[in-house]
Amino acid sequence: MSGLRFLLDGAIVEMADVDPTATLLDHLRYRMGRTGTKEGCAEGDCGACTVLAGTLNGDAINWRAVNACILFLPMLHGKALMTVESLGSDKALNPLQACMAANGSSQCGFCTPGFVMSLQGRCIGASGHDLPVADILAGNLCRCTGYGPILEAAEAIPSLPQDDSATISALKALASDETLSGSHGDRRWFIPRTTAALADLLSAHPDARLVAGATDVGLWVTKGLRTLETLIFIGDVAELQQMDESPDGLTIGAGVRYADAHAAFARLHPDMGELVRRIGGLQVRNAGTVGGNIANGSPIGDGPPALIALDATLTLRSAMGRRTMPLEDYFLGYGQQDRRPFEFVESLFVPRPAPTDIILIGKLSRRFDSDISAVCGAISLRMDGDRIADARIAFGGMAATPHRAAACEATLIGKLISEAAIDSAIAALAEDYSPLSDVRGSSAYRMEAAASLFRRLWHRESGVAISLLALEPEHG
């Protein structure tokens, strides 16, 4: 197989003997001399390294803002790349850059290229561009400006022309259906294109590390300084990118990025859409996948509690076939999941809630945007008339795994929704969870925060305003 290739400013960049966990950021800065892209944190939280990566999608190109600091070079294979240097020089700024320069959008300037690239993505219709500007910028931190002059520039320049025809032709020439593989010393890496090829590779390399968006694994390398021996990059497996919405529910391939699933989740339930909006910044949702968020088994992943409450089922795949299980059964214990070495997460099915279901999903964190939950919970009540026929309640951040609140659920079944019923459910929470105290909150706070979601549900059903984010000032 030939080496890795990607497209940069119209030219093909070929790389031989690639360290499979070398980051795009380091490659740009220290190999290519493109130092406009900055390292602010090397963990995908600050956005100073934001670049646009373009993937061929039929006859079009999907641009996405991503963090170069946790993007491994093989993940860029067959894609187009735009960095801040691609836009314009200081003597020939593009309209967005010119507006930002004139408007005081930069002070120290270090985060600025990242903001430019996030907003350039918005201007050319990149993934997630239909969100409000502040949401698009949730993954870009600025410590100097207070953001106002950046938001103003964004409002002034909402779109820019973009001619991708040459890029599309060039990407088509790079396209391939074959598995790409390479080695770097003793370390091996693979880029399969089909689930069958992926299944075979996993059978041959059961100890291989699967990498989808690298929003988690990236930190093992940049912060944990780990050396990963064998890697299989699954971002180019087309079958894992499938998404199917039907009246029954939503089927999501494990490789679907959160940004691409956002709208479909919001159509399942508005709270689910709001939850997804608050998972990472856009760059993280543009890389991180629904499947990865489940497969890594984190006790604080935001997807699983809600998906468990919504009764999602998970399909695992291997060369021997498929296995389907309720999502809640996948999480066995801290760091332990019901996935055999040769299996991979293939897809997820989330049944569509009934119109009469009462659902509340809540995430509590220090900061609304791009923060890790102290507690993330979901309450789903199936109603039979006025009575609760079934209850599915799950929390993350309350135990070693995301899991259901069985005792709490039991108190609710058969009840009318009332303050007394809510109180008894809250009282039962102590039987279901005994959370730890850590950096995100004390045990007592976590219990109180979990209880608050029940009270929030009660107030909402009683018609009381509960949405802080919907409030307007008394300013007029």
Partner 1 sequence: MAERDPVWPVLSKPSNPHDSAPLHVSGLARYADDLPEPAAMLHLAFGQSSHAHARITAVDLSAVRAAPGVVAVYTAADIPGANDVSPVAGDDRLLADGEVLFVGQPIFLVAATSQRAARRAARLGKIDYAPLPAHLTVEQARAAASLIEPTQHMARGDADAALQTAPLRLTGGFDMGGQDHFYLEGQVAVATPGEDGQMHLLCSTQHPSEVQHLVAHMLHCSSADVMVEVRRMGGAFGGKETQAALFAAAAALVAHKTGRPAKFRCDRDDDMVMTGKRHDFRVDYEAGFDAAGHVLALKLRLASRCGATVDLSPAINDRAMFHADNCYHLPDIEIASERLKTHMVSATAFRGFGGPQGMLAIERIMDDVAAHLGVDPLAVRIANLYGPGRDVTPYGMTITDNIAPQLIDRLRTDSRYDARREAIAAFNAANPVLKKGIALTPVRFGISFTTTHLNQAGALVHVYADGSIQINHGGTEMGQGLYIKVAQVVADVFALPVGQVRITATRTDKVPNTSATAASSGADLNGMAAYNAAMTIRDRLTAFAARSFGCEEVAVLFTPDGVQIGSECLDFGTLCRKAHMGRISLSSTGYYATPDIAYDRATHKGRPFYYFAYGAAVAEVAIDTLTGEHKVLAVDILHDVGKSLNPIIDIGQIEGGFLQGQGWLTTEELVWDDKGRLLTHSPATYKIPTASDRPRHLSIRLWDGENVQPTINRSKAVGEPPFMLANSVFSALNQAIAATAPDKRSLPPLDAPATPERILHAIASHRAA
For 300: left if phi > 0, alpha if psi spans -120 to 50, otherwise beta; the answer is: alpha
Smaller CB separation from partner 1, 138 or 294:
138
Quote the CA–CA distance of 67 and 259 in Å, as a whole number: 14
Please state the closest distance from residue 45 (CB atom) to partner 1, in A. 4
Nearest CA-CA partner of 218 in 68, 425, 53: 68
Q: How many CB atoms lie within 10 A of CB 45?
A: 21
For 185: left if phi > 0, alpha if psi spans -120 to 50, otherwise beta; the answer is: left
**Residue selected from 165, 247, 386, 471 as contacting partner 1 according to rule CB under 8 A:** 471
Nearest CA-CA partner of 283 in 134, 136, 141, 85: 136
Please state the closest distance from residue 102 (CB atom) to partner 1, in A. 6
Binders of partner 1 in range 368-397 (CB under 8 A)? 368-372, 374
| Cβ partners under 8 Å of residue 285, min gap 6 | 128, 257, 258, 259, 262, 276, 279
Under the criterion CB under 8 A, does residue 334 sit at the interface with partner 1?
Answer: no
Cα–Cα separations (whole angstroms), residue 420 to 76, 249, 383, 411, 455: 55, 33, 17, 11, 11
Pairing of strands 336-337, 249-253: unpaired
Smaller CB separation from partner 1, 382 or 456:
456
Smaller CB separation from partner 1, 199 or 276:
276
What track of x and - describes contact with partner 1 for positions 426 through 465 (by CB under 8 A)?
------------xxxxx--x--xx--xx-xx--x----xx
Smaller CB separation from partner 1, 323 or 455:
455
What track of x and - describes contact with partner 1 for positions 6 through 45 (by CB under 8 A)?
-----------------------xx--xxxxxxxxxxx-x
What track of x and - describes contact with partner 1 for positions 92 through 131 (by CB under 8 A)?
-x---xx-xxxxxxxxxxxxxx--x---------------
**Residue selected from 149, 253, 291, 435 as contacting partner 1 according to rule CB under 8 A:** 149
Quote the CA–CA distance of 241 and 239 in Å, as a whole number: 5
Q: Tell me if 316 sits within 8 A of 325, measured CB to CB.
A: yes
Q: Where does this chain touch partner 1 (CB under 8 A) — which range of 147-155, 164-172, 245-253, 305-313?
A: 147-155
What track of x and - describes contact with partner 1 for positions 216 through 255 (by CB under 8 A)?
-------x-x------------------------------
Under the criterion CB under 8 A, does residue 311 sit at the interface with partner 1?
Answer: no
What track of x and - describes contact with partner 1 for positions 45 through 64 (by CB under 8 A)?
xx-x----------------
